[in-house]
């Protein structure tokens, strides 16, 4: 509760300055995070994997043993050894160096595409859910938006992404736009369902009776309470977007070679698997799978932290452990 001069009044009547209140909230969030990791130790693995991948991406120019785009025909398809720890591909490029640089491309595309889709889908879904069933004009707007989302989701995601890349041209920006397009309906539907369940709450009705505008009600009362599910979806979508980026590059519709990218590395290496040279495609595939798995675990942990019922179960499991 707020007291005079912006102080925060605790339940015991003590006045705390705003900074102390913020510190208390950060401590409670930190305790909540540690509680979830203690109750579900597998979630910690997700944070370790993603942290390691991001660290490798940041430090790649300093830790990569070779230039990731320099070919050396003298070491064509060399197996893993002391000179090239993970071997070389069919152009003589060092696989370890390319794996270390690849997250710079894959994660950048995935994060930008997911963020763009969330920036469009979350507010649009909140507006659609808030106005659904109201006046005729607003109801018509909601119906049109939802039917457009149905049309987008009617197409196979991968085929739709390939079509978008074909329209906009083969580049990183095209892949970002494709990922944003295919993810927008996910956040739109998710936020709509959340807002529909929240807009009938008494505190929303009280804000409306108090004279708050629709924008103020959405911003202050509905979005803060509906955003948790979308935040959990963000991590899952980043992992899925990394996979989609790799898939587009695998079929030749993603980033332009020889840019280090896991999907294109798998595509150029899988042809040699039948002749015994498995390392050009297996190692990038393992890196891709671990990254997607890590983001999925983080998404699950955020979902647990946002759900009081699951949080209670995790707390009991942690105490029992």
Q: Compute CA 263 distance to the chain's CA centroid, rounded to the nearest angstrom.
A: 18
Sign of the CA dihedral running 63, 80, 273, 294? negative
- Between 31 and 221, where is the model more confident? 221
- Taking CA atoms, 268 is separated from 93, 251, 260, 264, in Å, by 12, 10, 12, 6
Query: What average pLDDT score do residues 94-104 get?
Result: 94
Q: Which pLDDT belongs to residue 21? A: 45
Q: Which percentage of the chain shows pLDDT scores above 70? A: 82
Residue range 214-229: mean pLDDT, rounded: 82
Bridge partners for 15 per DSSP: 9
Q: 67 falls in which pLDDT band (50, 70, 90)?
A: very high
Q: Six-digit token pair at 198?
A: 């929240």
Indicate whether 283 pLDDT > 90. Answer: yes
Cα separation, 71 vs 93, whole angstroms: 5
Q: Average the pLDDT over 265-284 and give the result.
A: 88
Q: Domain coordinates of the chain in residue numbers?
A: 100-320
* Per-residue confidence band for 262, with pLDDT thresholds at 50, 70 and 90: very high
Half-sphere exposure (CA, 13 Å, Cβ side) for 174?
Answer: 18
Name the pLDDT band for 43 (thresholds 50, 70, 90): confident
Q: Coil, strand, or helix at residue 12?
A: coil
What does the pLDDT read at residue 60?
93
pLDDT at 254: 81
At 223 the pLDDT is 84
Alpha-carbon distance of 48 to 290, in angstroms, equals 11
CATH of domain 100-320: 1.10.3720.10
C-alpha–C-alpha distance, residues 93 and 69, integer Å: 7
Q: Is the peptide bond before 258 cis (omega within 30 degrees of 0)?
A: yes
- Helix 308-320 and helix 279-306, axial crossing angle in degrees, nearest 10: 100
Q: What is the DSSP string of 263-315?
A: HHHHHHHGGGGGGT--HHHHHHHHHHHHHHHHHHHHHHHHHHHH-HHHHHHHH
Lookup result for tokens 């009081």: 308
On whether the CB atoms of residues 43 and 295 are closer than 8 A, the answer is: no
Looking up tokens 């946002």 gives 306
**What ranges make up the beta strands (E) of the chain?**
8-9, 15-16
| pLDDT averaged over every residue in the chain | 80
Looking at the predicted structure, is the pLDDT value of residue 185 above 80?
yes
Predicted confidence (pLDDT) at residue 79 exceeds the cutoff of 80: yes
pLDDT mean over 235-247: 88
pTM: 0.80
């Amino acid at each position: 509760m707020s007291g005079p001069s912006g102080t925060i009044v605790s339940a015991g009547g003590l006045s705390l300055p705003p900074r102390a209140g913020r510190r208390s909230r950060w401590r409670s969030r930190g305790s909540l995070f540690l509680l979830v990791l203690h109750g579900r130790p597998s979630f910690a693995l997700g944070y370790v994997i993603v942290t390691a991948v991001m660290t490798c991406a940041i430090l790649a120019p300093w830790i990569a043993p070779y230039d990731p785009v320099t070919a050396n025909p003298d070491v064509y398809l060399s197996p893993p050894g002391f000179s090239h720890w993970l071997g070389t591909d069919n152009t003589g490029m060092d696989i370890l160096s390319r794996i270390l640089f690849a997250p710079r491309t894959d994660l950048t595309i995935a994060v930008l595409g997911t963020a763009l889709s969330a920036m469009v889908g979350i507010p649009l879904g909140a507006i659609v859910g808030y106005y659904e069933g109201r006046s005729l004009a607003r109801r018509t707007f909601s119906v049109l938006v939802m039917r457009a989302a149905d049309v987008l989701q009617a197409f196979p995601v991968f085929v739709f992404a390939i079509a978008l890349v074909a329209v906009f041209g083969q580049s990183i920006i095209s892949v970002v736009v494709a990922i944003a397009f295919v993810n927008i309906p996910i956040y739109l539907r998710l936020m709509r369902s959340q807002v529909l369940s929240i807009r009938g709450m008494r505190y929303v009705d009280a804000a409306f009776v108090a004279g708050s505008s629709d924008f103020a009600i959405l911003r202050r009362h509905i979005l803060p309470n509906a955003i948790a599910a979308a935040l959990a979806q963000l991590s899952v979508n980043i992992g899925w977007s990394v996979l989609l980026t790799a898939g587009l590059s695998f079929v030749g519709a993603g980033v332009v070679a020889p840019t280090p990218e896991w999907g294109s590395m798998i595509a150029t290496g899988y042809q040699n698997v039948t002749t015994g040279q498995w390392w050009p495609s297996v190692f990038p595939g393992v890196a891709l799978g671990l990254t997607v798995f890590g983001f999925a675990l983080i998404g699950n942990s955020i979902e647990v932290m946002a759900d009081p019922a699951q949080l209670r179960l995790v707390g009991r499991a942690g105490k029992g452990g």
